[in-house]
Structure 1
Amino acid sequence: MLRYRHKKTKQEIVFKKFTGQCEVYALVRKIVNIHLPKIYQASFDGEKSLVVEEYINGISVADVLSEGAYSESAAANIMNQLFEVLAVLHSENIVHRDIKPENIMISSDGVVKLIDFSAARIFSRYKSNDTKALGTIGFAAPEQYGIDQSDARTDIYALGILLNILLTGQHPLTYLYPGRYRKIIEKCIETIPDNRYASVFELKKQFNKIKPAA
């Protein structure tokens, strides 16, 4: 990955080159959303892909967590912005598959940006399971290891892990948040996808029934 400043516009951009196709990036390029980086180019030469995208000037959630856990209200702000962008992505059948603190940026104006679609895939009802086990251990849902097909509920699993880490600084397998969001976290991280929330809309509805503490 290379970072570059355009000579004329002075805008900072990022070049990514990787083996394989970039169909997800090509689809994300068509989506205009404040919570996504702008994709300027997504091309495939038959062997490798080149992606040129906006550089996000800000700080990652991982960097913020290095200073301590979030308050409930601050965590709720992050989560609600993620609900918005994931609803858009899922409507286009895009499953991110790598939601984690390192892939969530907070821009200089306070907007949450979901980055890095290298593990993302396009859901197809004609497939029975994922062909590649991609994602990050600790955040990846069981179905990402080839036993089933990833779908929106795969990202919901990661959101549950993320919420617990935002609130405690720890993975739920190490320490499960004891407060009011506990049941939501537990439902998100159910091993069987059918036992999780069916969509981010359903998750958001239940999540926002709880008034976060300051």
Structure 2
Amino acid sequence: MMNQPSHLEFGSIVGERYRIIRTLGSGGMSRVFMAEDLKLPGKQWAVKESVADVKMMKFIRTEAEMLISLSHPRLPRIVDFFEHPPSGAIYLVMDYIEGITLEAYMKGYQGYIPQEQIIPFALQVLDVLDYLHTRQLPVIYRDLKPANIMLTPDMEFKLIDFGIARSYKDELDQDTIKLGTVGFAAPEQYGTGQTDARSDLYSLGALLLYLCTGGKYSEWTTGVEGYIRGELPRHLIPIIRKLLRHHPEERFQSAEEVIGELRRSADFKSVQPGKSVSNDSIDYAGTRVVAVLGVSSGSGATHTAIAVSHYLARRTRSVALVELHSTAKAFARLHEAVEGIAAGQASSSRRFEVDGVHYWRQTSRADVISLLGGSYRFIVLDLGSGQDNERLEEFLRADYPLVVGSGAEWRVQDITGLARSLQRHPQRKWNYCLPLATSESVRRLRKELDHDKVFALPFHSDPFERDDEMDQVLDELFRGVITVARKKRFRFLKRQR
């Protein structure tokens, strides 16, 4: 609540023009009212009344002058500004933005923002932050939080309170005033340094985490992974983690950089077959997830996951292979073989390495989310043949879902059965792999599924080793994602033609 008593009430007239209708909200130094315009009948404005002692008046005037100089569709437009010296009050008249605060929306809708609206929301906020940060004298907002964002009926977001914003000054080492909302403010806002554009980007990360956990978390703490909504786009997670780095130099350095990352990540998911993407694009787009699900026990899911992981490691390096079921034994046996010890004597560490691939045995979903914030280009999930909720959810969320089914003629129908059982889910990005299948089986399955991404996997006795035939199939499967290096011809061969 406002610390100072207000001088306005219902029916009060401000500036001989604005009649107060009702209170919209209040804070520590101000209160906002809805007012009707007596000169423009039917027009409504928001009137912000700030009452403070003499020491704070300069601070409030600075905010008013700054707001008047700004012009952006996601900021309130200032149409009038005046002081009332006898009472020590300053009044700002600005656009009235219809809607509710994001904080109120989250409380009213059980902490739920539709997943398809989260990235557009982030881009809207970044748009206005980029505008503020690139002024001739950069403006740092410093209080990005749900209560300061208005959600309009058209699901557009606007910033509504500049109470603690400041202009960035190169010569300062620290902020003069330490302000910000706990949980959303960057660490440097509490005295460790001067706030700059990266401070607002930290707050954006806190805001996105708040949305992704249904309002439960705004700081990356132990266990937060378990509260991130399962249906969200995967590429958001490493972006949020980088935004929330404690040290500013470890975060994104500008709003423009975050915008580029979000757009590249989204574009990466929609690359069309035949369109090449450079290795640099893969690096920048963050970690990609390949999920391998067996139709039935013994269909070859683990074998295929290993082959895919080592293929990707040879092409791009930095690959993790995750065994996402707690009762599986395959990786434990492999770990023992790698360490050359007796059964049951492997080290307690769940991670081990084989030819550049990091194997993670008996891993939980929370661990997978943690790995997404790391430096892996690809994470391959070995889901086995189970279809419990957790593993099915990971399969459906993956960037590249791979279904592995038997190539035997009499078992091909197992795949169509799985597709029918999950027909309520979009399946266009699914890939179907049939070990040892004939070309006729592949052709028939493509027709039955009305899907062209069906592949016959050749005999490959050692999935850890390179195999030319297997590489050809995987080159086709990951076409448009992995740039396949072509051998250069010697000049003398060209001259012979």
TM-score between both structures, scaled by the size of structure 1: 0.90
Q: Contact (CA 8 Å) 2:45, 2:93: kept in 1 or not?
A: no
* Map of 2:241 onto structure 1: 186
For the residue of structure 1 that corresponds to 2:252, the secondary structure is coil
**Among 128, 133, 144, which residue is 1:85 paired with?**
128
Aligned residues of 2:47 and 2:91 also touching (Cα < 8 A): no
Q: What is residue 447 of structure 2 aligned with on the other side?
A: none
Q: Which residue does 2:98 correspond to in 1?
A: 57
Which residue of structure 2 lines up, in the alignment, with residue 71 of structure 1? 114
- How many Å separate the matches in 2 of 1:168 and 1:69? 9
Tell me how far apart the structure 1 counterparts of residues 46 and 176 of structure 2 sit (CA, whole Å): 31
Alignment of 1:154-173 (within 5 A): 154-169=199-214, 170-171=216-217, 172-173=220-221
Q: Identify the structure with bigger relative contact order (alpha carbons < 8 Å, sequence gap 6+).
A: 1
Measure the CA separation in 1 of the matches of 2:141 and 2:51.
17
The answer on whether the counterparts of 1:16 and 1:51 sit within 8 Å (CA) in structure 2 is yes
Separation (CA, whole Å) in 2 of partners of 1:110 and 1:153: 26
Q: 2:185 maps to which residue? A: 140
Q: What is the CA distance between 1:110 and its match in structure 2?
A: 3.4
Q: Deviations over 1:140-182 (max 9, x none)?
A: 1111012200000000000001111112222143624374311
TM superposition shift of 1:206: 0.8
Aligned to 2:171: 126
Q: 1:197 aligns with which of 233, 252, 273?
A: 252
Return 5+ residue gaps in structure 1 as ranges.
Answer: none
Q: How far apart, in 2, do the equivalents of 1:152 and 1:183 lie?
A: 19
Equivalent residues in 2 for 1:106-121, closer than 5 Å: 106-121=151-166
Q: Which is further off, 102-111 or 73-82?
A: 102-111
CA distance in 1, matches of 2:186, 2:48: 29
Task: Give SS of 2:264's match.
Answer: coil
5+ residue gaps, structure 2? 1-30, 270-396, 398-425, 427-497
1:17 corresponds to which residue?
A: 50
Number of equivalenced pairs: 214
CA contact (8 A) 1:143 1:149 kept: yes
Aligned counterparts of 1:18 and 1:150: Cα–Cα separation in 2: 26
In structure 1, what is the Cα distance between the partners aligned to 2:94 and 2:224? 37
Q: 1:53 to 1:129 in 2, by over 3 A?
A: same
* Aligned counterparts of 2:70 and 2:205: Cα–Cα separation in 1: 25
Are the structure 2 counterparts of residues 86 and 42 from structure 1 closer, same or farther at C-alpha, using a change threshold of 3 Å? farther
The alignment partner of 1:97 has SS state of coil
Question: Is 2:205–2:240's contact at 8 Å kept on the other side of the alignment?
Answer: yes
User: How far apart are residue 48 of structure 1 and its match?
Assistant: 5.7
Q: Which of the two has higher C-alpha Rg? A: 2
Q: Report the CA distance between 1:7 and its aligned residue.
A: 1.9
The alpha-carbon distance between structure 1 residues 145 and 48, as it changes in their structure 2 partners (threshold 3 A), is farther
Change beyond 3 A, Cα 1:43–1:131: farther
Q: Distance in 2 between matches of 1:43 and 1:195?
A: 43
- Aligned residue number for residue 65 of structure 2: 26
Q: Secondary structure at the match of 1:208?
A: helix
The 1:44/1:95 distance shift into structure 2, 3 A limit, reads farther
1:100-133 deviation line (CA, Å, top 9, x unaligned): 1111112234331111110111100011101111
The answer as to whether partners of 1:130 and 1:147 remain within 8 angstroms in 2 is: no
* 1-structure distance, mates of 2:244, 2:175: 19
TM-score relative to the length of structure 2: 0.40
CA contact (8 A) 2:74 2:159 kept: yes
Given residue 41 of structure 1, which amino acid in structure 2 is its aligned partner? D
State the 1:94 CA deviation: 0.6
Question: Residue type matched to 2:180 in 1?
Answer: G
* Greater alpha carbon shift after TM alignment, 88-97 vs 65-74: 65-74
SS for the counterpart of 1:209 is helix
Question: What is the percentage of aligned positions where both structures have the same residue?
Answer: 31
Q: What letter corresponds to residue 205 of structure 1 in structure 2?
A: G
1:3–1:13 CA contact under 8 A, matched in 2: yes
> Could you tell me how far 1:71 is from its partner in structure 2?
3.0
Among residues 263, 266, 280, which one is paired with 1:208 in the alignment? 263
Q: Report if aligned partners of 1:28, 1:39 keep a CA contact under 8 Å in 2.
A: yes
2: CA distance, partners of 1:105 / 1:115 = 7
Name the SS for the 1:52 alignment partner: strand
